[in-house]
Amino acid sequence: MIIVLKKDADPVQVTNLTALLESKNIKPHISTGEMQTVIGCVGDVTHIDPTLIEALDVVESVQRIQEPYKAANRKFHPLDSVIDCGGVKIGGGAFGVIAGPCSVESDEQILSIAQAVKAAGASLLRGGAFKPRTSPYAFQGLGAEGLRMLIAAKKETGLPIVTELMDFKNIDLFNDVDVIQIGARNMQNYNLLKEVGAHSKKPILLKHSMSATVQEHLMSAEYIMANGNENVILCERGIRTFETMLRNTLDLGLIPVLHRLTHLPVVVDPSHATGYANMVDPVAVAATAIGADGIMIEVHNDPPHARCDGVQSQTPAMFAETMTRVRAIRETLADTQTQRGASCA
Ligand code: PEP
Ligand code: MN
């Protein structure tokens, strides 16, 4: 349920209204936009009579949100959410570039890649330490030791870091991590989603499962948000279809769809979406042009010898070229873009 307030609503009466909601176990979520102020209600609203709320002086209207996702819904929070990722903002016009290897392999590897991607303009460093691999015989990541190396590269370069959490029992190792990635394979691991929702305030980069609909992706974001962590960034990385030319099938048309449905930022991962290093550049550029709030690209200093996802990894030189093109698109867009939520009723 959302409560739209009158334009010149008396602040004392608004406080009374939020206190009333809280007394009914509803968490009010005030969102002040240019056009209107909205109170989103999180919790069981079935026992609240909307006509009673609507009768209040400060209230313009009360609307039930029909969609099953509430906190993630654009109606609930008309303006774009801006997520602070260790000092780097993503969303609401702020564009994030996350780059780095699929997996952390050594101190030298992660540091040299971190320096290269930083020089090319990346704003965050990625690197997996706990890897979800299809084969139990494949490299599983360096675990705690890999995280130590990633954190050392963060200290050396100043880049905030993004890395995947597969099991909540490892959360204590993530204190110096800036963004927790929940991978495609864990998008519907509801216990993990509840735990990062309830016990972490860190931004969560939530990847789209290879077999989920957009609504299921949003419902997974809702799990995290309903449990207390509203810092969610969605990541499109393609899904499994009958097409075999690329590793996955990425529908870039979903980016404007998501921007209509949700206020959460949307990042595109062209590396897992395509599976081939030479396909990453055009898809990264297209994702930027269609309005993604960021991109995540796998970069390796020696792709043929990468322990994971070498075929889709750009070299630092390729990444630098992509960055030049992405920057050019961003500059062109900057002249024409307005706040997405500003015109939302
Ligand atoms: C990754 O980012 O390296 C990864 C495993 O991605 P996904 O979960 O999208 O397959
Ligand atoms: Mn990978």
DSSP string computed for 274-343: H-SHHHHHHHHHHHHHTT-SEEEEEB-SSGGG-SS--TTPBPHHHHHHHHHHHHHHHHHHHTT---GGGG
Whether residues 89 and 158 fall in one domain: yes
Q: How confident is the model at residue 337 (pLDDT cuts 50, 70, 90)?
A: low
Whether residues 91 and 215 fall in one domain: yes
- Judge contact between 268 and 251, C-beta under 8 A: no
Q: Tell me what the mean pLDDT of segment 20-28 comes to.
A: 92
164: phi then psi, degrees, rounded to nearest 5: -85, 135
- List, in sequence order, every residue forming a beta bridge with 133; answer none if it has no partner: none
> pTM here?
0.94
Range of the domain at 56: 2-63
Is residue 213 domain-resident?
yes
Model pLDDT, residue 42: 84
Whether the predicted pLDDT of 334 surpasses 50: yes
Is residue 70 domain-resident?
no
Model pLDDT, residue 339: 60
Q: Is the distance from the beta carbon of residue 238 to the nearest atom of ligand 1 less than 6 Å?
A: no
Whether residues 59 and 87 fall in one domain: no
Domains contained in the chain, number: 2
Query: Closest ligand 1 atom, CA of 272?
Result: 9
Helix (H, G, I), strand (E, B) or coil at 233: strand
C-alpha of residue 28 to centroid of ligand 1, in Å: 35
Whether residues 182 and 302 fall in one domain: yes
Whether residues 223 and 256 fall in one domain: yes
Over the stretch 40-83, which tens digit does the pLDDT of each residue have? 998 888 888 999 999 999 999 999 999 999 999 999 999 999 99
For 114-150, give one letter per residue: b (16+ CB within 10 A) or e: bbbbbebebbbbbbbbbbeeeeeeeebbbeeebbbbb
- Which protein residue has the closest C-alpha to ligand 1 atom 3? 102
Whether residues 239 and 99 fall in one domain: yes
Q: Tell me what the mean pLDDT of segment 128-142 comes to.
A: 97
Where would I find the H helices in the chain? 11-23, 50-54, 107-120, 144-157, 190-199, 214-226, 254-261, 270-274, 277-289, 316-334
Whether residues 49 and 105 fall in one domain: no
Where would I find the H helices in 158-201? 190-199
- Residue to substitute in 135, 189, 207 for testing ligand 1 pocket (most ligand atoms within 8 angstroms of CB): 207
Whether residues 180 and 227 fall in one domain: yes
- Judge contact between 92 and 77, C-beta under 8 A: no
- Judge contact between 320 and 326, C-beta under 8 A: no
CATH number of the domain encompassing residue 185: 3.20.20.70
Q: Tell me what the mean pLDDT of segment 140-159 comes to.
A: 98
Is residue 76 domain-resident?
no
Over the stretch 184-225, which tens digit does the pLDDT of each residue have? 999 999 999 999 999 999 999 999 999 999 999 999 999 999
C-alpha of residue 228 to centroid of ligand 1, in Å: 25
